[in-house]
Amino acid sequence: MMHISAHAVKTASMPLGMILGALFCRQVDAVDKWSGETITPILISLMLFCTFCRVDVRRMRPNRMHLWLLAVQMIGCLAVYYALLPVNHTLAQGAMMCVLAPIAMAAVVIGGMLGADIETMATYSLICNLATALLAPVILSFTGNGECSFGIILAKVAPLLIGPFVLGQFCRAFVKPLARWVSEHKRLSFYLWLLSLVVIIGRTTSFIIERGTAESNLEIALAMAALVICLAQFAIGRHIGIKYGDKVAGGQSLGQKNTVLAVWMSQSFMDPLSCVAPTAYIVWQNFVNSYQIYKHSDL
């Protein structure tokens, strides 16, 4: 009975967190700007640290599933871009970014909550982010303004990814009581994710309000394209994952995107309006994650 009650509380807390973020978007955005926009990176780093304390580096090996997921990401982004290019260039850029963006830092955390093999996801997170840093500048050279580089993107993703990984492995080797305690309290990741959800939704809502409705038809098209792409990527990822015995890892690896990086790349290297698509993707993927966590009883 207590288990059902706890699950009910967590189920209610997810939509409540999104509602609070939207209602208090101005305050959330103001606090985040006051902090130098460090709240989300700090929360993501803490979530990753909690997860990487459970990762056995000896079990981290690339596999065929990783290659398929990466192929879908890189080939899929170009397919989406050229399919939508005759319709509208900005729409094509925004939709492409929803596919090109690498796996989210928090995907390993959410995947672990849902029962995925965290070593598999941690391995893919490293591979995917490095591959994106290498290949995105090439892709953006002819789809964007051509000002992107490997170093610029790597500087954005490396500290958030490598730092928590190294610290987590250090604790596993030399501060075992701390690593054991963190591993035993895996629900910490859920509450950190919930807090980051409030911040992300608050920032997203504030961004949408500030943009206004000057180009509302295109903005709606960008948001709807993001929804279709989000659902498609979760579905395709799960289908690939089924073939390799881990549908959750497949779905989260392909569907949950580093939208903060995607928004930044859109604003920096494309038509700035194209960032509406990855901004909307933030909302859609968190609806998907909330639903998956609701359906998963072991939380």
Q: Are 227 and 284 in contact (CB under 8 A)?
A: yes
Q: Are 118 and 51 in contact (CB under 8 A)?
A: yes
Strand-pair partners of 257: 103
pLDDT in tens, 23-41: 998 999 899 889 888 888 8
Alpha carbon 47 to chain centroid distance? 13
> How many CA atoms, within 13 angstroms, populate the side-chain half-sphere of residue 31?
11
Highest mean pLDDT among 46-50, 154-158, 210-214, 222-226: 222-226
Close Cβ partners of 231 (under 8 Å, ≥ 6 residues apart):
284, 288
Q: What does the alpha-carbon distance between residue 195 and residue 199 come to, in Å, rounded to a whole number?
A: 7
Highest mean pLDDT among 138-147, 221-230, 278-287: 221-230
pLDDT for res 8: 61
pLDDT for res 232: 97
Q: Are 74 and 204 in contact (CB under 8 A)?
A: no
pLDDT in tens, 227-260: 999 999 999 999 999 999 999 999 999 999 988 7
Strand-pair partners of 138: none
pLDDT band for 11, please (50, 70, 90 cuts).
Answer: low
Better pLDDT: 236 or 271: 236
CB atoms within 10 A of CB 81: 22
Better pLDDT: 161 or 125: 125
pTM here is 0.83
Least confident of 11-25, 69-83, 127-141: 11-25
User: Taking the domains of the chain in order of start, what are their residue ranges?
Assistant: 21-294
Torsion of CA 24, 29, 32, 33, to 10 degrees: -150
* Overall average pLDDT of the 107-134 stretch: 87
- CA R_g for the chain: 18
* 215-219-221 Cα angle (round to 5): 125
The CATH number of the structural domain formed by 21-294 is: 1.20.1530.20
Long-range contacts of 37-45 (CB under 8 A, 24+ apart): 39/196, 39/199, 40/196, 40/199, 40/200, 40/203, 40/260, 41/159, 41/160, 43/192, 43/193, 43/195, 43/196, 43/199, 44/105, 44/106, 44/160, 44/196, 45/160, 45/163, 45/164
pLDDT for res 2: 46
Least confident of 21-25, 113-117, 290-294: 290-294
Better pLDDT: 121 or 184: 121
